[in-house]
Structure 1
Amino acid sequence: MPASASEHLLLAGGGHSHALLLRRWAMQPQRRPPGLITLVSRSRTSLYSGMIPGLIAGDYQPGDVSLDLAALADRAGVAFVQAEITGIDPHSQQLRLQDRPALHYERLSCNLGCITPALEGSQAIKPLEPALAWLDSQDAEDGAAGDRETPASPFTVVGSGLAALEVVLALRQRWPQRRLQLQARNLDHLPASLRTALKNARIQLLAAEPAGRGPVLNCSGSRAPAWLAASGLPCDGRGRLRTNTSLQVLGHPEILAAGDCAVIDAAPRPPSGVWAVRAARPLARSLESLAAGRTPPPWYPQRRALQLLGNRPQAWALWGPLWFGPQRWLWRWKQRIDRRFMARLQPHSAMTGAAEGAEQAAMLCRGCAAKLPAQPLQRALTNAGLDRLGRLPEDAQSLGHDDQGQLLLQSVDGFPALLSDPWRNGRLTALHACSDLWACGALPRSAQAVVTLPAVAEGLQQHLLGQSLAGIRDALSEQGAELIGGHTLEARNSGPEATPSPISLGLQISLSVQGAITPERFWPKRGLQAGDQLWLSRPLGTGVLFAAAMAGVATAADLERAQQQMNQSQHELVEALQGLQRHDPGAIHAATDITGFGLLGHLLEMLPPDRSRRLQLHAETIPALPGALGLLTDGIASSLAPANRLAWRALEPDGDQPAAVTLQLGAMTAGSSAHQALLELLVDPQTCGPLLIACTRSFNDRIRHTNPGWRPIGSVL
């Protein structure tokens, strides 16, 4: 039967086959199966295995060999979930994840790569990320090798395959002085030219385990993740999923597998990136055929594949038992192949420049950047007879006192989905909503949610709602709060853009959050006193980074760091500050959270209406997330930034009155690109942004000891 718009296709793992699959659907969206498609990967990026030896040798930088899976998924209309996979339940058709709810699937595709067994006292080469970090920690040993009278313990690479050979040769290029050993069972099959290269590189060959001690990198015995076999699915001796020629797992036609975690029963091939890349098109055809209700075509991979083993400035070519090389042109050819592969999988290159990217991003910004600008909001409040709410803003409103004398507080916040992962999006929305209470010095007790779902099939709505509520609950429970109720709606928009792709971006979540605090510990928004110091809890820049992501010009590493910061609850900071106030009551005079109107806009809300207080900010201490200032310099901006720029007026004198906010530039040159980028940072809308407090000078040292992330950014005049 053909797939319907109610089905959920899960892509488990970010291997080469799935990366190329995403590219295919990005370039030819008419081929993409209907319904919701979700890619699940432990990390946002995937490393291209063909360039790892060059990375180890120093020929490439990490960014040169990293595939941005989230960006590829976004281009392909596929949701992206960053999570560690822990198992498959084929009976209930669920993919189990670490520290979050399982995901249900109608069809599952596995492209998980392989791992290297951990031998006692050794570091496994796969997964690659921890192995590369471990090699970084070993770098200092090479520099010290020539300074020792007694040679240090040698570094040993274990393995008889091409991976071990490439790695040990790359390590010689990386570590010119260090003692290197290659432990392999049988090297007689190697050509004389390669054995000579090993000898010239001063790499000692060992037939057995070395008697001495020293660091060991294991490059042998790759296996599929152990949880695959534990799931009860048919696997071979290496734990690889056994499939038919259509890449469907034997006895489980709803599960497909390709790459190093799979083996075709009728045409077994050894684990290799070459076959993983070539399996991408057959995998795509099988998934697309099944979605259309057709029998998927068979695929018989070629028996041999050309493999290139590189060691700058030359390389060898391997075709089955035949070797050729070394040749310099083979090295150049390998580089061209690898770079061409990476270029095909980079974020969309249709943008001709940063300004064009910024224009597109302005139409797409989500999260708190979807907030109504301050000016029309104030006018609407005035027209409705609610001018007081605009003139005297508070982050949370008082509902009176409970029977214990505590001040009851309530606030509301929400926005259209920022991420295509409904669980993560629910968690971030809840944290963002809680920040209004944190800014008052309170912690949430309870919350109610309103979730607007896209008009899609009932089964997918159930999935999106369940994942969203689980994410909200996760953010609340770590603070001791509960989700006590709510309401659901279905979006009734019409037209071709009514349901975005992926459909999980059609979610909208709002939360009403309730909390309580003793009156003497309440932090007002307007309580600034002369001499107060201004402190910011975390860097700025989420608005421009997500705008850049939508324009395809943000780096995966910068987005990863931004999301890690956003995903961290700030309730512990509030608890710590309240604890410190026991020893210094009343030290915090005012506080707020920095959200949609940016740092400058929310600072202006803290000033008294008569402007009897003024602020001074220090440019060099205002923290920015990595990459944010560079993007702002390039002209990237959030869709809300143009409206927020009206707050720049506060930086200029008003007739005879001095500026409400003075910006001390320090060594920064007025009018420079750095100055302009800083001005843009001041009005960048923040989702899950920082807290800002104004406190006495005597409280400064206490804050520094509480959390080193707090940064002093100015003072009250």
Structure 2
Amino acid sequence: MQSSEQPVLRDIVLVGGGHSHVGVLRRFGMKPVPGVRLTLICRDTHTPYSGMLPGYIAGHYAYDEVHIDLSRLAEFAGARFYRAEAVGLDREARRVICRDRPPVPYDRLSINIGSTPQLGEVDGASDHAVPVKPIHRFNDRWLALLTRVQRHPGRTTIAVVGGGAGGVELVLAMQYRLRHELEAQGRDPAELEFHLFTRSAEVLPTHAPPVRERFRRTLAARGVRLHTGSEVTRVDEGGLVTASGEHFAADEVVWVTRAGGAPWLRDTGLALDGQGFIRVSDTLQTVTDPNVFAAGDIASMDHHPREKAGVFAVRQGPPLARNLRRAVQGRPLRPYRPQRRWLALISTGDRHAIASRGAFHAEGDWVWRWKDWIDRRFMARFRDLPAMDEEGKAPKSEVALEGEEARQAISAVAMRCGGCGAKVGASTLSRALGALQPVDREDVLIGLHAPDDAAVVRVPPGKAMVHTVDFFRAFIDDPYVFGQVAANHALGDIFAMGAEAQSATAIATVPQGLEAKVEDTVYQMMSGALEILNDADCALVGGHTGEGRELALGFAVNGLIDDAAEDVMRKGGMQAGDVLILTKPVGTGTLFAAHARLAARGRWIDAALASMCQSNRRAAQCLHQHGATACTDVTGFGLLGHLVEMTRPSGVDASLDLAKLPVLEGAEETVAAGILSSLQPANVRLRRALRNQEEVAGHPRYPLVFDPQTAGGLLASVPAARADACVAALRALGYPHTAIIGRVEAQGEALEPIRLIA
């Protein structure tokens, strides 16, 4: 992971996690450019390596063996990872338009999103065929098919459309895996029927005749019926129809052909070829816009047309990284010339493969082992990331700047003022906040966009005010998501008390830099926060933003509650015989400590962030409706610390069942590896509250009762008779990990109030 004292001067944005971009990230991680920030925008956290996908389908590799963890790779590269989908470009403003989040500005942009199946060209294909891309959707469908074949005996017919290397490898891999699944159950493999359709006269039309003939024989020997010269013109619920009008019944139609560019590219103004791919020059810049690059399948080189193959995307990584680096440095770019011929190693599903390069060909199990060695070596480059040198003095930036930008850069690097001089400039702040639309409330008299010294809110008759404040530095590199988590965390105390949120004031710290970079960071962060605040009907009424070394955000939140004391849910009030309910899983502290050390899988972080972004508002209402006697939100003190805070004022003891504790995926693995939050040691001091600490200290979940949480769930005591109904209601509201984790007991003679059940 890279960090730098150098302010951000230029933004390189990478759209898509293809083979070229993973190479760019690795190279920038090895040799960062001071003053240059990378941002990766990708819908998926784990990107597949196409060379190993047939082996995964055939069962030779596990999921993680064939996928590159983009979250971990971006962390290594010092890049921001935005898990989002790009849907357009505003090239005039130099912004990437994303689905469900604010636009992302760029100085240089690179697109590596692969190709998109053009199902719309064939009647019914969009509704009834399974495209092999995007891979995550195909994987879900493949696993469902695998389960269906395993559990439901009977005939299953699978049709694969596409006679290139991808289609041939896929049908042979599927046939091999499913056949062996049936044989393992003692069933007849003849239950399975496979068809391969291609409109060409031959399979693998770009390869030498001996290679085509060898695959013809392999398909026949494996019982795959080959339909050459058979263009598919329609797909329906029962199968497919060819140009000759013949209907073929099929339970599953898999689409591995007719790929083109993503539809949104047509509205970018970039020059595209006949298939919708982005036309690029020898420098991998688009022929339309020198600030936009493209590589991999989505790119079409004007002077060097080549078929779509993963080898080109991989080999474009180094020249793309070099030219992006040179572009922000104001240096001349270097041309790239792809090779005319390349080696293709095409597997037959059964740990056997055929090598093809021009007229050369070879086959055998040894070819598969060779391919396996090449593929594993490639993947190791992104799994076994090299250790980085310790940080020294920040090197001077080589980014080319002129005029006002150069003056701002000098100011950003120079010693900054303290006090009010550390505030973010008024014009920068007003532009960033001007586009925000906080929710309107009648009781907010003067709010965010009113030019006054303070906000003014009215307290309705019969209501009491509830106040809370939270503030912490960023622990993820996406300011939009960080804003969501920070707002959700601050609101948690309000909801835990049984109150409704009324208004919030923000306090933010933003690293210094060019005004445009600071403005975007503030806008991204506050957009995320405002999404959460508006959903809670909480009006953002003002705040303060200053410069500092690290991004940080907090909120002072005001809430309203009926002034009758019985309507307040407090930490005290637990009754012996109540059960303890927890609405969210624990583990955020250890997971993000592991993330910073490149020791967490991206999907673990995705799940943790999804949990942290989920509001506790409806959960609190549900707990109140089911008679909760006490409630608190689980945050920095960890589960044990907050439970102790509840038992003491309640005058009770409690037991926790470690086996029933909901835990985020990956948290047990990271604590077992000894990776703990920096706050963990302070929380562990509370072990003195445990009656049987020595008995349970070796339990794998024991460290997690001390794990500090950010935007954690609610811990509540509920009368035992109403507990099951409460849990069912919470799960129905979208809190699927809700669990009964213990009981409230009468206070005993022991000084320690908590007993853990192993």
**Which of residues 543, 547, 550 in structure 2 aligns to 1:490?**
547
Q: Superposition RMSD on alpha carbons, in Å?
A: 2.2
Cα gap change, 1:136/1:22 in structure 2, threshold over 3 Å: closer, same or farther?
same
> Is the counterpart of residue 313 in structure 1 residue 338 in structure 2?
no
Measured in 2, the distance between the counterparts of 1:326 and 1:533 equals 65
Structure 1 counterpart of 2:247: 211
Structure 1 counterpart of 2:233: none
> Is the counterpart of residue 614 in structure 1 residue 671 in structure 2?
no
Question: Following TM superposition, by how much is the alpha carbon of 1:414 offset from its aligned partner in structure 2, in angstroms?
Answer: 1.9
**Which of residues 704, 722, 725 in structure 2 aligns to 1:702?**
725
SS of aligned partner of 1:37: strand
> Is the counterpart of residue 670 in structure 1 residue 695 in structure 2?
yes
Q: Is residue 72–residue 600 contact of structure 2 (8 Å, CA) maintained in 1?
A: no
Structure 2 counterpart of 1:138: 145
Structure 1 counterpart of 2:239: none
Measured in 1, the distance between the counterparts of 2:367 and 2:317 equals 25
Structure 1 counterpart of 2:752: none
CA shift digits 1:222-270 (9 cap, x unpaired): 1121111221211111111111111111131011111111111111222
**Which of residues 143, 165, 170 in structure 2 aligns to 1:162?**
165
Measured in 1, the distance between the counterparts of 2:667 and 2:315 equals 38
Structure 2 counterpart of 1:424: 481
Q: Which one-letter code corresponds to 2:40 in the other structure?
A: L
SS of aligned partner of 2:485: helix
> Is the counterpart of residue 128 in structure 1 residue 128 in structure 2?
no
Measured in 2, the distance between the counterparts of 1:307 and 1:42 equals 29
Structure 2 counterpart of 1:24: 27
Question: Unmatched 5+ residue regions in structure 1?
Answer: 352-398, 492-497, 499-505, 582-586, 653-661, 664-668
**Which of residues 501, 505, 511 in structure 1 aligns to 2:555?**
511
TM-score (norm 1): 0.84
Q: Which one-letter code corresponds to 1:274 in the other structure?
A: V
> Is the counterpart of residue 553 in structure 1 residue 576 in structure 2?
no
Q: Is residue 491–residue 557 contact of structure 2 (8 Å, CA) maintained in 1?
A: yes
> Is the counterpart of residue 179 in structure 1 residue 175 in structure 2?
no
Q: Is residue 241–residue 262 contact of structure 1 (8 Å, CA) maintained in 2?
A: yes
> Is the counterpart of residue 47 in structure 1 residue 48 in structure 2?
yes
Cα gap change, 1:141/1:402 in structure 2, threshold over 3 Å: closer, same or farther?
closer
Measured in 2, the distance between the counterparts of 1:33 and 1:304 equals 38
Structure 2 counterpart of 1:463: 520
CA shift digits 1:313-370 (9 cap, x unpaired): 21111213x351322211011001110111001153649xxxxxxxxxxxxxxxxxxx
Structure 1 counterpart of 2:291: 254
CA shift digits 1:101-133 (9 cap, x unpaired): 111112111111111122522111111110111
Measured in 2, the distance between the counterparts of 1:605 and 1:577 equals 19
Q: Is residue 16–residue 111 contact of structure 2 (8 Å, CA) maintained in 1?
A: yes
CA shift digits 1:540-562 (9 cap, x unpaired): 11111111111222222222221
Structure 2 counterpart of 1:13: 16
Cα gap change, 1:438/1:158 in structure 2, threshold over 3 Å: closer, same or farther?
same
**Which of residues 711, 725, 729 in structure 2 aligns to 1:688?**
711
**Which of residues 313, 336, 348 in structure 2 aligns to 1:276?**
313
Q: Is residue 241–residue 261 contact of structure 1 (8 Å, CA) maintained in 2?
A: yes
CA shift digits 1:602-650 (9 cap, x unpaired): 11111335x8321122222122112212221222211111111111000
Correspondence 1:530-609 to 2 at 5 A? 530-578=576-624, 580-581=625-626, 587-608=627-648
Q: Is residue 347–residue 552 contact of structure 1 (8 Å, CA) maintained in 2?
A: no
Question: Following TM superposition, by how much is the alpha carbon of 1:144 offset from its aligned partner in structure 2, in angstroms?
Answer: 6.4
Measured in 1, the distance between the counterparts of 2:103 and 2:600 equals 30
Q: Which one-letter code corresponds to 2:367 in the other structure?
A: L
Question: Following TM superposition, by how much is the alpha carbon of 1:23 offset from its aligned partner in structure 2, in angstroms?
Answer: 0.7
SS of aligned partner of 2:116: coil
Measured in 2, the distance between the counterparts of 1:401 and 1:460 equals 37
Measured in 1, the distance between the counterparts of 2:304 and 2:500 equals 60
Structure 2 counterpart of 1:366: none
Q: Is residue 703–residue 710 contact of structure 1 (8 Å, CA) maintained in 2?
A: no
Cα gap change, 1:401/1:471 in structure 2, threshold over 3 Å: closer, same or farther?
closer
Q: Is residue 576–residue 706 contact of structure 1 (8 Å, CA) maintained in 2?
A: yes
> Is the counterpart of residue 239 in structure 1 residue 239 in structure 2?
no
Measured in 2, the distance between the counterparts of 1:343 and 1:140 equals 30
Q: Is residue 46–residue 70 contact of structure 2 (8 Å, CA) maintained in 1?
A: yes
Measured in 1, the distance between the counterparts of 2:496 and 2:85 equals 33
Question: Following TM superposition, by how much is the alpha carbon of 1:401 offset from its aligned partner in structure 2, in angstroms?
Answer: 10
Structure 2 counterpart of 1:200: 221
TM-score (norm 2): 0.79
Question: Following TM superposition, by how much is the alpha carbon of 1:4 offset from its aligned partner in structure 2, in angstroms?
Answer: 9.2
Q: Is residue 509–residue 551 contact of structure 2 (8 Å, CA) maintained in 1?
A: yes
SS of aligned partner of 2:23: helix
Structure 2 counterpart of 1:638: 677
Q: Is residue 400–residue 407 contact of structure 1 (8 Å, CA) maintained in 2?
A: no
With 683-692 and 20-29 compared, the bigger mean Cα shift is at: 20-29
Q: Is residue 306–residue 318 contact of structure 1 (8 Å, CA) maintained in 2?
A: yes
CA shift digits 1:355-393 (9 cap, x unpaired): xxxxxxxxxxxxxxxxxxxxxxxxxxxxxxxxxxxxxxx
Cα gap change, 1:410/1:347 in structure 2, threshold over 3 Å: closer, same or farther?
farther
SS of aligned partner of 2:577: coil
Cα gap change, 1:349/1:295 in structure 2, threshold over 3 Å: closer, same or farther?
closer
Cα gap change, 1:193/1:323 in structure 2, threshold over 3 Å: closer, same or farther?
farther
Q: Which one-letter code corresponds to 2:524 in the other structure?
A: Q
Measured in 1, the distance between the counterparts of 2:313 and 2:669 equals 37
Measured in 2, the distance between the counterparts of 1:522 and 1:347 equals 52
Measured in 2, the distance between the counterparts of 1:470 and 1:404 equals 32
Measured in 2, the distance between the counterparts of 1:4 and 1:680 equals 38
With 6-15 and 161-170 compared, the bigger mean Cα shift is at: 6-15
Question: Following TM superposition, by how much is the alpha carbon of 1:204 offset from its aligned partner in structure 2, in angstroms?
Answer: 0.4
Structure 1 counterpart of 2:236: none
Correspondence 1:437-452 to 2 at 5 A? 437-452=494-509
Measured in 2, the distance between the counterparts of 1:509 and 1:451 equals 4
Q: Which one-letter code corresponds to 2:575 in the other structure?
A: Q
Q: Is residue 108–residue 328 contact of structure 2 (8 Å, CA) maintained in 1?
A: no
> Is the counterpart of residue 715 in structure 1 residue 740 in structure 2?
no
Question: Following TM superposition, by how much is the alpha carbon of 1:707 offset from its aligned partner in structure 2, in angstroms?
Answer: 1.8
Measured in 1, the distance between the counterparts of 2:460 and 2:333 equals 68
Structure 1 counterpart of 2:98: 97
CA shift digits 1:402-447 (9 cap, x unpaired): 3421221111112100110111111111011111111111231221
Q: Is residue 696–residue 702 contact of structure 2 (8 Å, CA) maintained in 1?
A: no
Measured in 2, the distance between the counterparts of 1:4 and 1:233 equals 31
Q: Is residue 296–residue 312 contact of structure 2 (8 Å, CA) maintained in 1?
A: yes
Question: Following TM superposition, by how much is the alpha carbon of 1:690 offset from its aligned partner in structure 2, in angstroms?
Answer: 1.2
